[in-house]
Amino acid sequence: MPAAASLGEPALGPLDGRYRSAVAPLAEHLSEAALNRRRIHVEVEWLVFLGTHDVVPGARRITADEITLLRSLPRQFGEAAIEELADIERVTVHDVKAVEYWIKRRLETTSLADVAEFTHLFCTSEDINNLSYALMVRDAVAQVWLPAARALTDDVARMAVELRDLPMLARTHGQPATPTTLGKEFAVLAARLRRQLDRIGRAEFLGKFNGATGTYAAHRTAVPGADWPAISKEFVEGLGLTWNPLTTQIEPHDWQAELYADVARFGRVLHNLCTDVWTYISLGYFAQVRGQGTVGSSTMPHKVNPIRFENAEANLEVSGGLFRVLEDTLTTSRLQRDLTDSSMQRNIGVAFGHSMLALQNVAKGLAGLDPVPAALEADLDATWEVLGEAVQSVMRVHGLPNPYERLKDLTRGRKVDQAKLREFVAELGLPEGEAARLSLLTPGDYVGDASALVDHLEA
């Protein structure tokens, strides 16, 4: 792989400069070098398949040692090989053809020289590309993105459990509303994130291997007796992908659109978490103390800014925008082929890179939070009017007249303290036990099943 850019080296984008170290694991799967390494892998596996399945009449079988040699070629694709391939491509002006020639060079001086011309046999470039991208994205998701996203979601779920019993004033439309618990609100976010991760974890990665317009025309003409659909299916599934039998020159990319829509939706939920946590910090419900050795402001020493969540918001917006563009563009190809997908797919790594940055920022941000129970309690104690809902509901159950309207007159646009509310309840004429129960109710108690609802995360 090329050396990572440092802060002092020129880089057009932040993923190759400032944030290179944070996204390096993705570069192993989604960079241009990774694409060419996967192309070599697919070309080599096709050679191995041809040399072990008697597909071409009269072609000799390759030996176990020759298979080992072939499968070593992707591992040899280091910095020198990357430069060599670039030199070849400057002549071919065609990236996949350059890969074919790169492989043939290595076979010409080995025992495989006699089968070197089988490299890329019957293949259109998209036979190689679609399989390469499917393998790249599959492994990037499974080995890098999903583990990070699952770890973060587990962090959110742990916070839900830890904070399950901490009462909090809710705000609907930004206004004081029926209290909840801080943990229950984190549980809602954890459940939403997990739902998207379940969808992403079930993603299918499709591949095709059927020639220039998806008809096996060259295959059938050169080797008419072979069952080409069955060969194609066996080869694609042998790579660990789902075979798509009906395509044009390209695999239609619908599976990619489905995956990117789910990843983008996960990002929107995570963005919602960021804005909510940012607001809780602003309200003083969380203190940002742990692990804070950073400068919050160049002039105000007291500042500890919620920058992790702000940075995550920005990166989620970039990644979400790119995923949506990928989804929209990749599902359309003029007639049997156009080249828009070629340029578009080179941005897959950028989209996942900004998503990874967001995951890391949110994880670090959450790790630096400590709840401030006194701040939550003070907010609750200042808003006794939220018990109006409880009082009017009990009044309704016991048949008292105009419960909603009477509580509206008492509470709307007015602050109500404990004494005033108890006085109101005492004069209602409720059964003695009900009046006593309401008189003991506080905003901090009025959380319903909020704590118990967190248990649904484990269900």
Mean residue pLDDT across the chain: 93
**Between 381 and 298, residue with greater pLDDT:** 381
Q: 176 — phi, psi (to 5°)?
A: -55, 135
Amino acid at 398: H
Confidence at 303, pLDDT banded by 50, 70, 90: low
Task: Look at residue 3 in the predicted model and tell me its pLDDT.
Answer: 42
Confidence at 371, pLDDT banded by 50, 70, 90: very high
Instruction: Quote the percentage of the chain above a pLDDT of 90.
Output: 87
What's the pLDDT tens digit per position in 29-56?
999 999 999 999 999 999 999 999 999 9
Task: Look at residue 94 in the predicted model and tell me its pLDDT.
Answer: 96
Q: What is the DSSP string of 6-61?
A: -TTS--SSGGGTTTHHHHHHHHHHHSHHHHHHHHHHHHHHHHHHHHHTT-STTPPP
Domains of the chain: 31-121 (1.10.275.10), 129-209+245-374 (1.20.200.10), 384-442 (1.10.40.30)
Q: Is the pLDDT of residue 180 over 70?
A: yes
What's the pLDDT tens digit per position in 129-157?
999 999 999 999 999 999 999 999 999 99
Q: Provide the token pair at 437.
A: 């129960």
Task: Look at residue 438 in the predicted model and tell me its pLDDT.
Answer: 93
What's the pLDDT tens digit per position in 307-357?
999 999 999 999 999 999 999 999 999 999 998 999 999 999 999 999 999
Q: What is the pTM of this model?
A: 0.92
Active site positions, annotated: 173, 297
Q: Is the pLDDT of residue 61 over 90?
A: yes
Look at residues 230, 227, 238 and name the one whose alpha carbon lies nearest to residue 49: 238
Alpha helix segments (H runs only) across 53-168: 64-72, 79-92, 95-107, 125-140, 146-162
- Strand pairing class (242-243; 286-288): unpaired
Task: Look at residue 231 in the predicted model and tell me its pLDDT.
Answer: 98
Distance CA 335, CA 74 (A): 34
What's the pLDDT tens digit per position in 248-267?
999 999 999 999 999 999 99
Confidence at 289, pLDDT banded by 50, 70, 90: confident
Distance CA 204, CA 104 (A): 33
The phi-psi region of residue 10 (left if phi > 0; otherwise alpha if psi is between -120 and 50; otherwise beta) is beta
Confidence at 298, pLDDT banded by 50, 70, 90: very low
Task: Look at residue 300 in the predicted model and tell me its pLDDT.
Answer: 47
User: SS3 helix, strand, coil % of the chain, rounded to 5?
Assistant: 65, 5, 30
